Amino acid sequence: MNSRILTLVWLAGLAAAQDSSQSVVTITGTTHQLTGGDAGPTVTLPSDFEGSTFPTGTMSGMLSGSTGAPNATASGTSTPENTLTEIVGGTRTTAVSGNMTATTATTPRPSNTQPCNNYAEFCNRKYSNITEVCAHNSPFVRKNNAGANQEFGVTQQLNDGIRMLQGQAHYVNNTLYYCHTSCDLLNAGTVEDYLTDVTKWVASHPFDVITIIFGNYNYEDKDENGNPLVTSKNFAEPIENSGLKQYIYQPPKTAMTLDDWPTLGELIISGKRVITFIDYNFDTDAVPYMLWEFYNMWETPFSPTDTEFPCTLGRPAGISEEKQREMLYLANHNLNVEVSIAGLDLVIPNTVELTQTNALNGSGSLGLMANNCASEWGRPPNFLLVDYYNFGSPMNGSVFEVAARANNVTYNRKCCGTASLATVLERPSATYFGLMIAVVAALVL
């Protein structure tokens, strides 16, 4: 049995134990299906699983009934083959009378209270049936630099509720760096260093599932033999060196439909809680856990400068509407402006309109786009890609309120970060925007 699974069940038990009415964890289901990567085989619980209580002891062998978490109680139900156990709260006691007949008293068992990606409701939802906020160009955090797209670093982004990370990687001197357009404009450091921070966060948040899209800036470059210079193989080394690979889910198919994806609970219990995609030059033979984004997900128009934010197909070109309805989809909602400086054509965030772009309601708002997309496609976007997620209206972090409404849950968190861009950008102005362009000019001249 995978030790990570046992640890997760035990952690859930600790969470439940904080409430005396939910002092133990009940595990329901007769079959435990581990999915992805080297997660292991199916583990079928024994026929006498019903009512067995695991005494306090070590973590090993918990599901076999030998030892387990403190006061863990198990009850079996008839669940379909290859389904996953669900962790819920509740208690169960068994009394044996003098004539040796057993009677069982069960307290009312509440629904699961352990949040998955900040909401208990998400634990039983498929990965493909949840809307999450994506930090566009997550690594690009640099004060007074027009190449920046976020105010806070990746650890704070994840703390605030970001669950998809995206960034553009450049291959320089046999090393992958996160750079925006040019490493001379904004170099955020190596991909490996960034992923090391991500791994630390993932390791300390066992009930969260995140997604990473790797942007391959050098996808058109060729080696001396005419082969692609940079593919998903180049990303394998920083992934492995950072320690992230152990958490990456390997789907059973290279092109997953909406129905193929597991639930968040399944991913969490398997320990495989990171989904990885690459936009161009995938090689699933060499790196099977890194999916080609456009086999699995389509996007609305990329780097939009249109405040209407149409919910039409942007990438990949040419797929049918029928196919779109079977795939994940990402709404690009980061308003940009095009500038040309010193021979460089740049698309940079339109900070003048930032507050309204990330707003809950109104013309050009993220909330309006999410609603329009949901109406057009019969379901909201799976991912909402935004710049400076901590800005919005009527409150900072309104992007998370938009996602909560799309998910039909109540947003009850506070956002964002430990500092505020308001000291510089309380009301993004044309003057500040002009300053950003001047900074770019100084960097490229």
Q: What is the pLDDT of residues 373-417, one digit of tens each?
A: 999 999 999 999 999 999 999 999 999 999 999 999 999 888 998
Select the more confidently predicted residue: 79 or 391.
Answer: 391
Within this chain, do residues 155 and 14 fall inside the same structural domain, yes or no?
A: no
Within this chain, do residues 337 and 314 fall inside the same structural domain, yes or no?
A: yes
- CA 83/CA 74 separation, integer angstroms: 16
Helices (H) and strands (E) in the chain, counts: 12, 20
Active-site residue, from 136, 170, 205, 333: 136
Domain boundary among 71, 106, 141: 106
Over residues 232-241, the mean pLDDT reads 98
Query: What length does the chain have?
Result: 445
| Domain presence at residue 114 | no
Q: What percent of the chain has pLDDT over 90?
A: 60
Of the pLDDT bands very low, low, confident and very high (cuts 50, 70, 90), residue 110 is: low
Domain count for the chain, please give it. 2
Cα atoms in the Cβ-side hemisphere of radius 13 Å centred on 175: 13
Select the more confidently predicted residue: 59 or 155.
Answer: 155
Within this chain, do residues 344 and 430 fall inside the same structural domain, yes or no?
A: yes
pLDDT at residue number 108: 52
Nearest residue to 381 (alpha-carbon basis) of 145, 134, 142:
134
pLDDT at residue number 33: 34
| Domain presence at residue 115 | no
Cα atoms in the Cβ-side hemisphere of radius 13 Å centred on 108: 2
Active-site residue, from 32, 170, 180, 333: 180
Q: What is the pLDDT of residues 153-191, one digit of tens each?
A: 999 999 999 999 999 999 999 999 999 888 988 999 999
pLDDT at residue number 324: 98
Average pLDDT over the chain, rounded to an integer: 76
| Domain presence at residue 71 | yes
pLDDT at residue number 185: 85
Within this chain, do residues 102 and 125 fall inside the same structural domain, yes or no?
A: no
Neighbours of 273 (CB within 10 A): 25
Within this chain, do residues 308 and 164 fall inside the same structural domain, yes or no?
A: yes
Within this chain, do residues 95 and 129 fall inside the same structural domain, yes or no?
A: no
For this structure, is 333 an active site residue? no
Q: Is the pLDDT of residue 195 over 80?
A: yes
Containing structural domain, residue 424: 121-444
Within this chain, do residues 203 and 313 fall inside the same structural domain, yes or no?
A: yes
Select the more confidently predicted residue: 179 or 444.
Answer: 179
For this structure, is 170 an active site residue? no
Within this chain, do residues 68 and 169 fall inside the same structural domain, yes or no?
A: no
pLDDT at residue number 75: 33
Instruction: Return the SS3 of 431.
Output: helix
Within this chain, do residues 288 and 422 fall inside the same structural domain, yes or no?
A: yes
Over residues 261-288, the mean pLDDT reads 97
> How distant is the alpha carbon of residue 197 from its chain centre?
15
Over residues 203-211, the mean pLDDT reads 98
Q: What percent of the chain has pLDDT over 70?
A: 68
| Domain presence at residue 188 | yes
Within this chain, do residues 130 and 277 fall inside the same structural domain, yes or no?
A: yes
Nearest residue to 120 (alpha-carbon basis) of 152, 87, 145:
87
Within this chain, do residues 203 and 180 fall inside the same structural domain, yes or no?
A: yes
Q: Is the pLDDT of residue 70 over 90?
A: no
Within this chain, do residues 93 and 169 fall inside the same structural domain, yes or no?
A: no
Over residues 248-269, the mean pLDDT reads 97
| Domain presence at residue 113 | no
